[in-house]
């Protein structure tokens, strides 16, 4: 069964700190790995994504690190701000699958 | 450039009634996906459609659920004879090419009494 395992389930970080969320996948056919940010009552918003031909991608304060051999990828939020408080989901797709396979999410709280 | 639109945003139905959820993709997008999100859970893929075609419905429950994306108008997810277990947030996403990048709408929150 295709799975994406996400950790931690919840995370509290001080303002200005680095938030790190990790995901691991099983299906080596996955070839696209996005991260989504979701605020309460809203839909998931695409934050940043990576393909396995690169090991890192950075957009502003958000960075994805990708380890193909370990089948793991992570989201780093630098200089975390209270406005970053949300639920973050990792996802993966590929190998003929049409739908994204999501992790269970991480509730991130940035304390002022 | 309007994003993915879904309506209604909230829907309340009694057990046994029908629920119809609508989704208009982003302009220029012809690929539509439906997902279901249960409380404190990630999103689960249900169905993938292109205009007038169901491409992949591997995540759809076998009974009571159906989806369509007609030539004209929005995509519709239809749930017949709803039960309390159908209570969830239903999200639609659209994609320009059907590969990878998917943009989500605000969702429809279905409550079954």
Q: Provide the pLDDT confidence category of residue B41 given band limits of 50, 70 and 90.
A: confident
What distance in Å separates residue A17's CA from the closest CA in chain B? 26
pLDDT tens digit string along B48-73?
Answer: 999 989 999 999 999 999 999 999 99
Name the pairing type of β-strands A10-14 and A106-111.
parallel
Q: Provide the pLDDT confidence category of residue B2 given band limits of 50, 70 and 90.
A: confident
Do the Cβ atoms of B42 and A99 come within 8 Å?
A: no
pLDDT tens digit string along A53-86?
Answer: 999 999 999 999 999 999 999 999 999 999 999 9
Using the predicted structure, report yes or no on whether residue B99 has a pLDDT greater than 80: no
Residue B41: C-alpha distances to residues A5, A37, A42, A103, B18 (Å): 12, 14, 15, 8, 24
Residue B49: C-alpha distances to residues B3, B36, B55, B58, B101 (Å): 18, 15, 5, 12, 15
Do the Cβ atoms of A46 and B103 come within 8 Å?
A: yes
Count of CA atoms in the C-beta half-sphere (13 A) of A102: 24
Q: What is the mean pLDDT of residues A32-55?
A: 95
Do the Cβ atoms of A99 and B48 come within 8 Å?
A: yes
When CB atoms are compared, the residue of B40, B45, B101 closest to A99 is B45
A88 touches chain B (CB under 8 A): no
When CB atoms are compared, the residue of A46, A89, A99 closest to B101 is A46
A75 touches chain B (CB under 8 A): no
Preferred mutation among A36, A99, A105, A107 to probe B, highest tally of B CBs within 10 A: A99
Do the Cβ atoms of B42 and A49 come within 8 Å?
A: no
pLDDT score recorded for residue A95: 82
Residue B59: C-alpha distances to residues A19, B9, B76 (Å): 32, 22, 16
| Secondary structure (3-state) at A74 | strand
pLDDT score recorded for residue A97: 81
């Amino acid at each position: 069964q295709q799975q994406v395992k996400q950790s931690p389930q919840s995370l509290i970080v001080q303002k200005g700190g680095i938030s790190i969320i990790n995901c691991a996948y099983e299906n080596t056919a996955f070839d696209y790995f996005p991260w989504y940010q979701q605020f309460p009552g809203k839909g998931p918003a695409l934050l940043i994504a990576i393909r396995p031909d690169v090991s890192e991608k950075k957009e502003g304060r958000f960075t994805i690190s990708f380890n193909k051999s370990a089948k793991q990828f992570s989201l780093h939020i630098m200089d975390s701000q209270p406005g970053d408080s949300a639920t973050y989901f990792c996802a993966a797709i590929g190998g003929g699958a049409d739908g994204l396979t999501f992790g269970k999410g991480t509730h991130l709280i940035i304390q002022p | 450039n309007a994003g993915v639109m879904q309506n209604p945003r909230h829907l309340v139905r009694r057990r046994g009634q029908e629920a119809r959820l609508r989704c208009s993709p982003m302009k220029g997008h012809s690929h539509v996906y439906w997902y279901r999100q249960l409380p404190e859970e990630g999103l689960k893929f249900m169905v993938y459609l292109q205009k007038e075609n169901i491409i992949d419905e591997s995540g759809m429950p076998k009974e009571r659920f159906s989806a369509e994306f007609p030539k004209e108008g929005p995509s519709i997810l239809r749930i017949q004879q709803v039960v309390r277990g159908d209570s969830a947030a239903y999200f639609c996403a659209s994609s320009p090419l059907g590969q990878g990048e998917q943009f989500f709408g605000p969702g429809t929150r279905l409550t079954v009494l």
